[in-house]
C-alpha cells in the first residue's frame, strides 16, 4: 500500500482532529467531564484541544505553502482554529445537556494563540515537523 502524500496526510490529520472535537461536543456528557474534581478543568481541556488544532493547522498550511512566511501561516492557523471554536460553541449550545460558554471560547482562543505564538520556536527546534516525508 502506498503512503499518503504529505500534503494530503497533513490535512487528513486536521480533519480527523476537528472531527473528534465535534464528536466530543455532540455528547451530552463527555467521558472526561463526568466527575470533575477540579473546578474549571474543562477550560484546560479546551485550551489543549485548540492548541493541538492550531498546531495541526499551521503544520498543514506549512506543508501546503512552504514558501509563505511562517508568521502569516501562524496567523491563518490561529484564525481558522478560533473560528472553528466559535462554530463548535454554537453547535454545543444545540446539544441537550450542554451550553455555549464565553469562558470556553476564551480558553479556545488562549490555546490557539499560545500555539500560534510558539510555532516559530517549535518548528526551529524540531525541523522534522516540516519534512515532506514525515508521514511515510
Cell 515537523 found at: 129
Q: How many domains, in total, are found in the chain?
A: 1
Q: Does a structural domain hold residue 54? A: yes
* pLDDT tens track for 65-113: 988 888 899 999 999 999 999 999 999 888 888 888 899 999 999 999 9
Q: Does a structural domain hold residue 69? A: yes
The domain of 59 spans: 6-26+39-130
Q: Does a structural domain hold residue 14? A: yes
Question: Looking at residues 42-57, what average pLDDT do you find?
Answer: 93
Q: Which of 26, 12, 11 is nearest to 88 (CA)?
A: 26
Distance CA 117, CA 109 (A): 12
Q: Does a structural domain hold residue 64? A: yes
pLDDT at 106: 95
Please give the distance of CA 63 from its chain centroid, rounded to a whole number: 16
Distance CA 124, CA 128 (A): 9
Q: Does a structural domain hold residue 136? A: no
In this prediction the pTM is: 0.83
Distance CA 119, CA 122 (A): 5
Q: Does a structural domain hold residue 13? A: yes
Q: Does a structural domain hold residue 78? A: yes
Q: Does a structural domain hold residue 60? A: yes
Amino acid at each position: 500500500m502506498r503512503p499518503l502524500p504529505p500534503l494530503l496526510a497533513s490535512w487528513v490529520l486536521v480533519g480527523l482532529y476537528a472531527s473528534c472535537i465535534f464528536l466530543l461536543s455532540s455528547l451530552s456528557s463527555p467521558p472526561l467531564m463526568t466527575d470533575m474534581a477540579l473546578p474549571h478543568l474543562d477550560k484546560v481541556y479546551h485550551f489543549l484541544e485548540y492548541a493541538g488544532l492550531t498546531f495541526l493547522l499551521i503544520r498543514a498550511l506549512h506543508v501546503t505553502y512552504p514558501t509563505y512566511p511562517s508568521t502569516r501561516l501562524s496567523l491563518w492557523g490561529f484564525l481558522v482554529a478560533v473560528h472553528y471554536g466559535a462554530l463548535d460553541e454554537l453547535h454545543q449550545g444545540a446539544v441537550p445537556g450542554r451550553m455555549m460558554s464565553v469562558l470556553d471560547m476564551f480558553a479556545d482562543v488562549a490555546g490557539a494563540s499560545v500555539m500560534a505564538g510558539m510555532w516559530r520556536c517549535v518548528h526551529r527546534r524540531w525541523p522534522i515537523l516540516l519534512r515532506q516525508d514525515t508521514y511515510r
